Amino acid sequence: MHMKYWLIKSEPFKYSWEQMLADGETYWDGVRNYSARLNLRAMKTGDKCLFYHSNKGLEIVGIVEVSKEAYQDPTTDDDRWVAVDVKVVETLDNPVTLKHIKAETILQEMDLVKLSRLSVGKVGKKEFDYIMKLSKQS
C-alpha cells in the first residue's frame, strides 16, 4: 500500500503553522465542501499533507502526517462531515508560494491551481517531490 499526498489549507489568523508547531498534533475539522470531504475520507494514517496558508501568505509552509483517519467532525452534529488528525512532520526550509507554483509547468494540474477554492486537495507524488525540491532552494 503506497502513501498518498494531500494539501490542506488554513487561514493563518484562524490556524497558523506556528500554532500547528505549538500543538504538535491537532484535528482537521470544519470542512464543509463535498470534494474536500471525499479527500478527507480517503486519507490514510501515514499520508503526508502540505500545509498551506490561504488568503494571507499564500504559501506552503510545512508538512504534516495523518495520524488518525476520518471520524465524525466534533464541530457539528451532522454526521456527514468528518475530521482527521494530523501531526507535525517538518517546517519547509523555504515556503513555496502560490505564485511560484503557478509558474511551474509540472504543477499546473494540482488541485491548488485548478480548484483554487478547495480546502483539502490531492497532490501527486511527482508534485509533492517537486515542491519539496523547490523548498530546498532559497
Mean pLDDT for the stretch of residues 64-75: 97
Q: Say if residue 1's pLDDT is above 70.
A: no
Q: Which domains does the chain have, with CATH numbers?
A: 5-136 (3.10.590.10)
- The 10 Å CB-count burial string (b at 16+, else e) for 81-99 is bbbbbbebeebbeebbebe
Predicted pLDDT of residue 138: 74
- Of all residues in the chain, the percent with pLDDT exceeding 70 is 99
Say what the pTM is.
0.95
